[in-house]
């Protein structure tokens, strides 16, 4: 298996869990086609928290019209999401 790829791809906006300030994405490691590990730095200089978060594609809502046979993503179960 090849080592994870590193890049600076855009990542979702995240707030620091401690002080609630915005956190900047400083590195993204592509673990697989459906999983990225993202490093964040809190922008609050008094806080200084640096943390890792995962971005994972979990379920398909609408199937792709050009599917890749190597990509296996579970279909979302809309019935399971209902309450009552």
Rounded Cα gap, residues 44 and 67, in angstroms: 42
Does residue 60 belong to the site contacting Zn ion (CB under 5 A)?
Answer: no
Does residue 19 belong to the site contacting Zn ion (CB under 5 A)?
Answer: yes
Q: Enumerate residues 6+ apart whose C-beta is below 8 A from 38.
A: 11, 14, 25, 27, 28, 29, 52, 53, 54, 55
Binding span for Zn ion by CB under 5 A among 1-9, 26-34, 44-52, 66-74: 44-52
Minimum distance, C-beta of residue 39 to Zn ion, in the bound complex (Å): 14
| Positions that interact with Zn ion (CB under 5 A) | 16, 18-19, 21, 42, 44, 47, 49
């Amino acid at each position: 298996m090849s080592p994870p790829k590193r890049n600076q791809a855009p990542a979702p906006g995240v707030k620091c869990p401690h002080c609630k300030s915005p956190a900047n994405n400083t590195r993204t490691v592509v673990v697989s086609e459906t999983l990225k590990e993202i490093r964040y730095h809190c922008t609050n200089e008094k806080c200084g928290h640096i943390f890792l978060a995962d971005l994972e594609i979990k379920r398909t809502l609408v199937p792709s019209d050009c599917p890749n046979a190597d990509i296996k993503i579970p279909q979302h179960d809309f019935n399971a999401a209902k309450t009552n």
